[in-house]
Amino acid sequence: MSLMNQLMVSMVEFLPKRVVKVFAMRYIAGEELGDALSLVGRLNSHGVMGTLDVLGENTRTEQDALFATKACEQVLHAIDGNHLDANLSVKLTQLGLQIDQELCHSHVKNILEIAEQHKNFVRMDMEDSSTTTATLRLYERLRSEGFKNTGLVIQANLRRSERDVKRLIEIKANVRLCKGAYVEPKTLAFKNREEIRLNYLKLLRSLLEGRCYVGIATHDDFLIRGAYQYIQDMRLQKSDYEFQMLHGVKIPLRKSIVADGHRLRVYVPFGEHWYAYSMRRFQENPRMARYVLRSLFSRSE
């Protein structure tokens, strides 16, 4: 991130939370489950699927991890009860990964069992690189235990991802492929935009050729055009992949993808831990931080 972008993000961090919240809620459904359910209902009415995410990560106590697990279970029951076309995304550090990996396994297993009851699916989000190996191991363990209703995420900016993808192709994993939102050291991650783009397309081709179901998660027009070309060249069926985007981001592009006849899913985060999520998004996309500051300046004129 450039010095100017770092400055912009730092300035937003000094703003009162109530001010940041006004802008953050463009990208977050709200603080309550009902807010998220209403949004997914509206998305479904326009032919768009959803994935709900209870915001929160890095829990430090077993009680907090259990509370987060119950919240995830509630989401699955609510999706079923409201007949929504949506699934669930979870963060393993929210469910106790950094406290005890066996505890986390137990929590995720409980969530997957409820998802099975409702014929639903749970995506295990990928967090910063310190958790990558543990996340992959837990995913592979759950698959070996017979859970087919779960997938995980690969980040194209990580140098290790090509090796990880080869492992996942062997078990025909369900993979969300994204660029990567976490700030990582150069030894572990590509930093150049074009390097990340090229690695994304390389990984996407490998996953599609390996007959993995892929969530093509990007807002990058260049990558979407590349994905379109792969889909055409490989003569893929609509059931072989889906596009994925974040709530509140590039809505015209989202509409265009749906109009072109592709399946699309929108990531719908909600919950009281909206601030940490928003700050990470500002770091990932400093233009959002500039927008916040510019809007405040314009109001003051």
pLDDT in tens for each of the 301 residues of the chain? Answer: 556 556 655 666 666 777 777 777 888 999 999 999 999 999 999 999 999 999 998 999 999 999 999 999 999 999 999 999 999 999 999 999 999 999 999 999 999 999 999 999 999 999 999 999 999 999 999 999 999 999 999 999 999 999 999 999 999 999 999 999 888 999 999 999 999 999 999 999 999 999 999 999 999 999 999 999 999 999 999 999 999 999 988 999 999 999 999 999 999 999 988 877 777 666 666 665 555 555 555 543 3
- Contact criterion met (CB below 8 Å) for 272 and 17: no
Please give the C-alpha separations between residue 272 and each of 65, 68, 275, in angstroms, as whole numbers. 15, 12, 8
Where exactly does CATH 3.20.20.220 map onto the chain? Answer: 31-270
The predicted pLDDT at position 110 comes to: 98
Task: Give the residue among 19, 55, 70 at the shortest CA–CA distance from 281.
Answer: 55
- Contact criterion met (CB below 8 Å) for 30 and 270: yes
| Catalytic residue chosen out of the listed positions 125, 128, 254, 263 | 125
State yes or no: is 287 an active-site residue: no
State yes or no: is 159 an active-site residue: no
| Tally of CB atoms within 10 A around 6 | 13
Give the integer Cα–Cα distance in Å for 22 and 148: 39
203 φ, ψ (degrees, to nearest 5): -65, -40
Q: Kindly state the DSSP code that residue 87 receives in the 8-state scheme.
A: E
Model-wide pTM > 0.75: yes
- Report which residue type is found at 58: N
| Tally of CB atoms within 10 A around 143 | 18
| Catalytic residue chosen out of the listed positions 143, 176, 263, 281 | 176
- For the segment(s) 31-270, the CATH number from 3.20.20.220, 3.40.50.300, 3.20.20.80, 3.30.390.10 is 3.20.20.220
The predicted pLDDT at position 238 comes to: 94
